[in-house]
Amino acid sequence: AQKVTQAQTEISVVEKEDVTLDCVYETRDTTYYLFWYKQPPSGELVFLIRRNSFDEQNEISGRYSWNFQKSTSSFNFTITASQVVDSAVYFCALSEALGKGGSEKLVFGKGTKLTVNP
Amino acid sequence: EAGVAQSPRYKIIEKRQSVAFWCNPISGHATLYWYQQILGQGPKLLIQFQNNGVVDDSQLPKDRFSAERLKGVDSTLKIQPAKLEDSAVYLCASSFSGEPVWNEQFFGPGTRLTVL
């Protein structure tokens, strides 16, 4: 069975600090996909990134970066120079290979609530 | 482009009552999902539609939950009768289906249900 663990329930930082959100996953599939979503107070889940299991290259997008390590089954997310607008709940998710319709069944972790204080 | 619309945004009912939620996906999106998000947890998929057919409903409590997607556009999720443990946010998402290419799921704002 697939499982995603986000051990950090809540994190509080001061603006401009760097912060890393941890994600550990379990799957028996050799082909799988990993995601990060942001859920601001408005409630809508916002897609941030998707990586497949064959691509272990780290990725950087502006202040966001992701570190994927298959050896430790981890897909961590770092925000550099955090801002108040980064305050939200962040979810890591896992899916198996493409299902019917080209979409995937997502299994989410419990989320990490990030609060960035001014 | 308009996003995924859901209504109502909030609903409070007594246990054993029935309730229905409505979702209007992004125009042209053939795949529609309903998720349940209990406070402090991540969303859990309840049901996935491809056009008006069910692709996956393995986690839908079929004794009390039902969903339909007539004409392959709007969808309704119903709970009858509601239990206290059904208190959650119900999220609807949609994606454009273009197998075998991956398609991003776009989420609506959700309906927050409180069962008293």
Report DSSP letters for A69-81, one per residue.
Answer: EGGGTEEEEEESS
How does pLDDT run across B31-76, given as a tens digit for each residue?
899 999 999 999 999 999 988 889 889 899 999 999 999 888 999 9
B-interface mutation test, from A32, A33, A103, most B Cβ less than 10 A away: A103
How does pLDDT run across A57-93, given as a tens digit for each residue?
888 889 999 999 999 999 999 999 999 999 999 999 9
A50 has a chain B CB within 8 A of its CB: yes
Which residue's structure tokens are 């991003």? B104
CB proximity list for A60: less than 8 A, separation 6 or greater: none
* Contact across the interface for A33 and B97, Cβ inside 8 Å: no
Nearest to A44 among B55, B95, B108 (CB): B108
Burial class (CB in 10 A: 0-12, 13-18, 19+), A57: exposed
